[in-house]
Every structure is written in structure tokens, then in C-alpha cells.
């Protein structure tokens, strides 16, 4: 296979070979020449402050079909559209627009009250994810169309946005989303799988002899990966699961199980197993590969990859709960709606005109 | 060669002297440090030429209840009783669990040097403890309080970087060895800039909000507080910790707290989670339920 054709290596095989993606991104041409740094403990050196900010999403948009790699024109379109949105969001707000004019479009799909999250707040990145220098259409590589594999027969994914659930969402604080409660990020920032979201896609990694710590900016969660340890068997299911790790050459492998019931990931929870591989295979990057396995949910394991890049700043504190006025306000708003409904129900029906009988 | 040996010896004496002077201001800690300098316990491991403080640590004191010397008492918040003060109504049901264990205190000299206004505020905080202690609401604890809560913390240190993960509230600190300049904004845990002074890790913490407290006794600070921590390894399993507080808006002079940090060993050396945000939802939002509990 010629070098310029090896950028996409189609691996025809059984997708259930958990760590082998069906569509593998070939290593860069100079991979053999790159010597991954090692730290003072002789481990592959992953330390630093990293970001996975990206316009690319976990699943591939249908418009790209079976293509993992985007064309230069497609990249320009995606990144150009984002730049346009940012410019529009940064433009001075029309002083004539008042809150009474809501909803109006404030960009990036936000409107009305959602305009609180305008361009000043969000920072999802401005570029398409590159893996080995190649712009990818999504992170999932194990399926031809870059989508999730089929659900297991008989499995019905919970619909957290069904009208029935939404109707009672603000009945109690516990029924609000975990992001709204400031329990975990609103996406799956800490994971695992660690995935980028609207803002604060920053991670600090520190390695000791027996532990790897990953500080996830959202929501100041620190993942502790126990090197050489065994999974806990005491029935305790910590947030972010129970992560153990080991080193394979220049790769840190992390296996996470024991997820809690309420930290569901695309429908999976307690039976979920995620395997992550962190590899310094090129200067200034960490190749992040992941395999997701839950035979109670999907018909087969599925895999994907993206790259962490150096973050330009440090990780700052994300004190979500301490400033969480929104949760109280949303609950109070729901109670105000309840009161209105009760008032309307209690109001006597308007009198109807007497029926005049014709003789 | 002889000169080198002599220099090392002098440095060693100086080092002992410095450690001694830090502890001598508080005899209780001096005694604790001496006792734990057991010859059977080796020195702290090293990484990158410095002591490797990595591991799970916690105090064995009651400073989180009150950093000043205090007798045990019936509750964190009291009300007048017919004979003696009794627990406030909201904590009566906790019985002995809600009472306060005694403590020797960790403040040099015993008493905090409040300004007159500061002392009034502290006493008022104590009287309204249940409404005001940020720990009750599971707010981030700030520094130094994070280090002497009842829950342990884990130091992660390499030759290049360091962070501290706290069990309480999942709090975390980024220990920076390159000073980025003034903190861009105030935060709950502040900005920690570190340097090594021999084998002592010196961390200067600035940019903390005025919303955190020192303990459950209403002891507080302003947003101008500067904390200088000194983490001095005594042996592989013991760190002498001190924190000097400078906050002219609250205190008439800088003051220092001293205490020991003990390493968790074996199976105990595993940080658990105490994400208490979900535990305080009834307290903070219970009245906003569709059907509030009676």
C-alpha cells in the first residue's frame, strides 16, 4: 500500500475485537521516527494541560455517509460556518432588542431565554478534529457510518426527553438533569468516555508512581486511575466509575467499570465497560482511543478516537454548585406555573347564555 | 570533601532548628513530631530532587470543628436553656452525633488575633452557624480549611507538576510552579503558587473569595487573605503543615496554624468520593418541590 493511500486503513475484521476499530486511522508516516517522551518513573509522559475542544462530534453526521475523512472543502465549510457564527455572536447586540422580544435567534441554535449561553459563554473549539493530521467527520471508527451499533434486541433506550418525563422534570431537584444539579457536567466531559462539549474542554494530567490524576475542568472532577490495581468488588459504584490502568509500551490503558446507575452514557450504566488508550504518538498530541462495551445495550462493542492538543492556559476552577442560582430559579418558576394552573382550574366556568325554547 | 561534610552538617542542624522553631511555638505539635520521628520510619521518597509528597493524607485533630482550643460542647449551634445552653432545635435529633469534640487547637498562641469588628462578626457567625457555614451547603472549602477537614486528600506529584484532590466535595487544587501573575478572578480554592525551600514545599495562596470559613466555629476571613503554606516532610509518613494567614481586614496581625498530616497506609490509602452536592438538595431546594415533604 502506497504511503499516501495508507491514511485510511480499512481493517476488514470482526468489530467485536474490542480494541481494534473497524476503520483504523493509520499512524503518521513518521511515526517510527517519533520517540514518545517518558517521565521520571519511566512511564510514557502524558503530563500537561490538554484540550479536546472540537467542532467534531462523537457520531458522524449522516451527510458524510461512510466517509471518515473530510475533504478540504468540507472542512472549510464547517470551520467557516463556525467562524461566521462566532463573528455574529460577537457583534454588538441590537439595543432595540429587549427581553420582551424573546425568543430571537442569538446563534448556535440558542434562542430566547437560552441566549444566556451566547458566544461570550461558549467555547467548543473552532476547528474540526484532526487525527494523525486528518480531519475526521466523527469520533466513532468502528462502524462504517460512524454511528452507534444497533441496540440489542429487546433493549429500549430510555427517552429522557419524552413529554411524560419533561412534564415532571421540575417536580423535584433530583429529576432535573445532572448538569442542572451541578453533580456532573451536562455532557460527558469527565466520562469516561471523555467527550468535548460547549465549553471548558480542559484537562490536567499528573502522573505519580501508582496513580494518574486527570483533573477535568467540568465540574472540577478529578479522575483517579489506579495503576496496577484491580477493580473494586465491594459493590460501590463511584461517579465516573472505577478506573484501573496499566502501561503498554508508550500507551496508558485505562479500564473503567462499576459505573453508577444514574451516570448513564447513551443508555448504558451499570454494565458499561470503557477501555481508553492514551498514546503519545506524535509531538504535541495524545491519541485518545476508546472502546465501549455493554452487551445489555448494544449488539457489539464500539470504538473511536480523537486527539488531545495542548491547552493554551491552565485549568481554572469551575464552581458550579456554589453559584447555582438557576436550579432554584427553575424550580421556583415551575411552582409559579403550578400555581397558575391551579388558579385556572379553580376559576368557575363562565356563565352560558340561557337556552330559549321555541314553542 | 571535609568542607562539604561540614556544610551538610550545618545545613542539617539549621534544618532541624527551623523545623524545631516552627513546632516549638506549639508544644503539642513539637511533641507529636518528635514522637513520630521514629527511626524505623524511613525518609520521604523523592522525585525530581524533591520530597515526593504523593499519597493520601489527613489530620488527626478537630480543627475543622474549631481551630482555637475548645472544650467539647452539646452542638455546633446552641440556644438558651432553662439551666444551661442546649442544642438548637434543628440539631436536637442528632444527639451525641451532633455534639462537638474537644480540641487542643492549631493556632499559635491559641487565640485568633481578630480586630474588634472581626471578633463581633465571628461571634455572630457562631450564633447563626446553621445558616452560614459554607460546609453545610457543600460549598468548596477554600485553603487552609480543605487540609484539615475530617476527610482525606490525595497529593499527586511528579517531577514537573502537582495537584491535590480532596475527598470533600471533589475539591481540587492546581499547584503551580510557574507563577502566572495575579489570579484573573477570585475563586473558592484560590490560586496556589509553589516553590521549594529546601525540602519544604511553600505554597502561596491568593485570590480566594471571602465566602469560605476556617472551621465550624464561625472563624472567617476576608477576600484579601493571603495564605502561605509550608509542607515539611518529617518522615515518609508524616508531614508538618503550617499556614500563615495575613488578612489585615480581619486580623490585627498575621497568625499561623500548625498541625501534622498523616499518611494513609495500605488499603486505607484510597481516596473515596464525597460529592455532597446531591446530599444537600433537600436542604437547599426542598421547599421548591412540587410536593414539599412535611
Confidence band (pLDDT; 50, 70, 90) for A19?
Answer: very low
Give the model's pLDDT for residue B66.
98
A335 vs B288: CB contact, 8 Å cut-off?
yes
| CB proximity B276 to A under 8 Å | no
pLDDT score of A39: 96
Quick one: pLDDT band at residue B15, thresholds 50, 70, 90? Answer: very low
CA–CA distance, A99 with A109 (Å, rounded to integer) = 18
For B188, the closest of A40, A181, A322 (CB atoms) is: A322
pLDDT of A16:
35
**Residue A58 pLDDT class (50, 70, 90 cuts):** very high
State phi, psi for A25 to the nearest 5 degrees. Answer: -85, 120
Whether the CA torsion A239, B160, A275, A302 is positive or negative: it is positive
DSSP-derived letter for residue A216 is: E
Q: What percent of chain A stands above pLDDT 70? A: 85
Return the residue of B nearest to A333 by Cα.
B288
Torsion A39-A43-A45-A46 (CA) sign: negative
Query: Is residue B286's pLDDT more than 70?
Result: yes
Cα(A22)–Cα(A27) distance, rounded to whole angstroms? Answer: 15
For B174, the closest of A47, A314, A322 (CB atoms) is A314
Query: Quick one: average pLDDT of B123-139?
Result: 96
Instruction: Report the predicted TM-score, pTM, of the whole model to 2 decimal places.
Output: 0.88
Helix B27-36 / helix B2-24 crossing angle, nearest 10 deg: 130
Would the pLDDT of A190 be above 90? yes
**Model pLDDT for residues B181-194, shown as the tens digit of each residue:** 999 999 999 999 99
Enumerate the β-bridge partners of residue B198. none
The CA distance from B273 to B154, in Å, is 12
A274 contact partners, CB below 8 Å, separation of at least 6: A191, A192, A193, A241, A255, A256, A290, A291, A292, A293
Whole-number pLDDT of residue A104: 66
Question: Chain B contact for A231, CB < 8 A?
Answer: no
Q: Is A47 on the interface with B (CB under 8 A)?
A: yes
- Which of B177, B205, B285 to mutate to test binding with chain A, by most A CBs within 10 Å of its CB? B285
Verify whether the Cβ–Cβ distance A215 to B170 is below 8 Å: no
Could you read off the pLDDT of A206-220 as tens digits, one per residue?
A: 999 999 999 999 999
Amino acid at each position: 500500500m502506497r504511503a499516501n493511500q495508507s491514511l485510511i486503513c480499512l481493517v476488514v475484521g470482526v468489530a467485536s475485537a474490542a480494541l481494534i476499530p473497524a476503520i483504523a486511522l493509520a499512524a503518521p508516516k513518521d511515526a517510527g521516527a517519533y520517540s514518545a517522551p517518558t517521565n521520571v518513573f519511566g512511564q510514557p509522559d502524558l503530563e500537561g494541560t490538554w484540550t479536546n475542544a472540537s467542532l467534531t462530534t462523537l457520531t458522524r453526521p449522516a451527510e458524510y455517509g461512510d466517509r471518515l475523512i473530510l475533504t478540504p472543502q468540507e472542512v472549510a465549510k464547517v470551520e467557516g460556518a463556525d467562524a461566521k457564527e462566532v463573528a455574529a455572536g460577537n457583534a454588538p447586540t441590537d439595543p432595540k432588542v429587549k427581553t420582551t422580544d424573546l425568543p430571537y435567534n442569538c446563534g448556535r441554535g440558542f434562542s430566547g431565554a437560552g441566549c444566556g449561553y451566547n458566544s461570550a459563554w461558549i467555547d467548543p473549539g473552532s476547528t474540526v478534529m484532526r487525527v494523525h493530521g486528518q480531519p475526521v467527520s466523527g469520533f466513532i471508527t468502528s462502524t462504517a457510518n460512524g454511528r452507534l451499533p444497533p441496540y440489542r434486541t429487546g433493549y429500549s433506550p430510555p427517552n429522557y426527553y419524552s413529554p411524560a418525563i419533561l412534564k415532571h422534570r421540575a417536580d423535584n431537584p433530583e429529576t432535573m438533569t445532572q448538569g442542572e444539579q451541578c453533580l456532573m457536567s451536562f455532557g460527558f466531559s469527565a466520562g469516561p468516555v471523555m467527550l468535548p462539549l460547549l465549553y471548558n474542554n480542559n484537562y490536567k494530567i499528573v502522573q505519580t508512581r501508582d496513580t494518574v490524576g486527570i483533573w477535568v475542568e467540568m465540574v472540577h472532577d478529578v479522575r483517579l486511575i489506579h495503576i496496577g490495581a484491580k477493580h473494586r468488588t465491594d459493590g460501590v459504584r463511584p461517579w465516573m466509575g472505577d478506573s484501573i490502568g496499566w502501561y503498554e509500551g508508550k500507551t496508558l490503558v485505562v479500564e473503567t467499570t462499576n459505573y453508577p446507575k444514574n451516570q448513564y452514557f447513551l443508555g448504558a450504566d451499570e454494565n458499561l465497560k470503557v477501555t481508553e488508550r492514551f498514546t503519545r504518538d506524535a509531538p504535541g498530541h495524545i491519541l485518545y482511543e476508546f472502546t465501549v462495551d455493554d452487551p445489555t445495550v448494544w449488539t457489539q462493542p464500539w470504538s473511536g478516537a480523537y486527539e488531545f492538543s495542548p491547552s493554551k492556559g491552565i485549568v481554572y476552577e469551575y464552581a458550579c454548585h456554589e453559584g447555582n442560582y438557576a436550579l432554584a430559579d427553575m424550580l421556583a418558576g415551575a411552582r409559579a406555573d403550578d400555581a397558575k394552573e391551579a388558579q385556572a382550574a379553580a376559576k368557575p366556568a363562565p356563565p352560558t347564555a340561557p337556552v330559549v325554547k321555541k314553542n | 570533601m571535609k568542607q562539604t561534610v561540614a556544610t551538610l552538617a550545618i545545613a542539617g542542624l539549621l534544618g532541624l532548628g527551623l523545623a524545631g522553631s516552627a513546632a516549638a511555638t506549639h508544644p503539642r505539635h513539637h511533641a507529636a513530631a518528635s514522637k513520630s520521628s521514629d527511626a524505623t520510619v524511613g525518609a520521604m521518597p523523592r522525585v525530581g530532587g524533591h520530597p515526593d509528597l504523593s499519597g493520601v493524607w489527613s489530620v488527626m485533630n478537630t480543627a475543622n470543628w474549631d481551630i482555637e482550643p475548645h472544650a467539647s460542647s452539646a452542638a455546633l449551634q446552641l440556644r438558651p436553656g432553662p439551666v444551661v445552653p442546649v442544642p438548637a432545635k434543628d440539631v436536637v435529633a442528632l444527639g451525641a452525633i451532633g455534639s462537638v469534640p474537644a480540641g487542643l487547637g492549631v493556632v499559635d498562641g491559641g487565640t485568633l488575633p481578630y480586630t474588634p469588628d472581626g471578633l463581633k462578626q465571628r461571634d455572630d457567625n457562631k450564633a447563626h452557624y446553621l445558616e452560614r457555614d459554607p460546609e453545610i451547603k457543600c460549598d468548596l472549602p477554600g485553603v487552609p480549611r480543605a487540609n484539615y477537614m475530617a476527610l482525606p486528600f490525595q497529593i499527586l506529584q511528579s517531577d514537573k507538576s502537582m495537584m491535590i484532590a480532596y475527598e470533600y466535595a471533589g475539591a481540587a487544587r492546581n499547584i503551580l510552579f510557574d507563577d502566572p501573575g495575579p489570579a484573573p478572578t477570585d475563586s473558592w480554592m484560590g490560586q496556589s503558587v509553589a516553590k521549594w525551600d529546601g525540602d519544604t514545599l511553600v505554597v502561596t495562596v491568593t485570590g480566594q473569595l471571602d465566602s469560605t470559613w476556617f472551621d465550624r466555629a464561625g472563624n472567617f476571613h476576608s477576600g484579601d487573605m493571603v495564605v502561605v503554606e509550608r509542607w515539611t516532610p518529617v518522615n515518609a509518613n508524616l508531614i508538618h503543615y503550617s499556614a500563615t494567614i495575613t488578612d489585615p481586614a480581619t486580623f490585627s496581625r498575621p497568625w499561623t496554624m500548625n498541625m501534622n498530616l498523616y499518611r494513609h497506609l495500605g488499603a486505607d490509602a484510597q481516596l473515596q468520593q464525597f460529592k455532597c452536592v446531591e446530599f444537600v438538595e433537600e436542604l437547599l431546594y426542598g421547599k421548591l418541590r412540587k410536593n414539599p415533604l412535611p
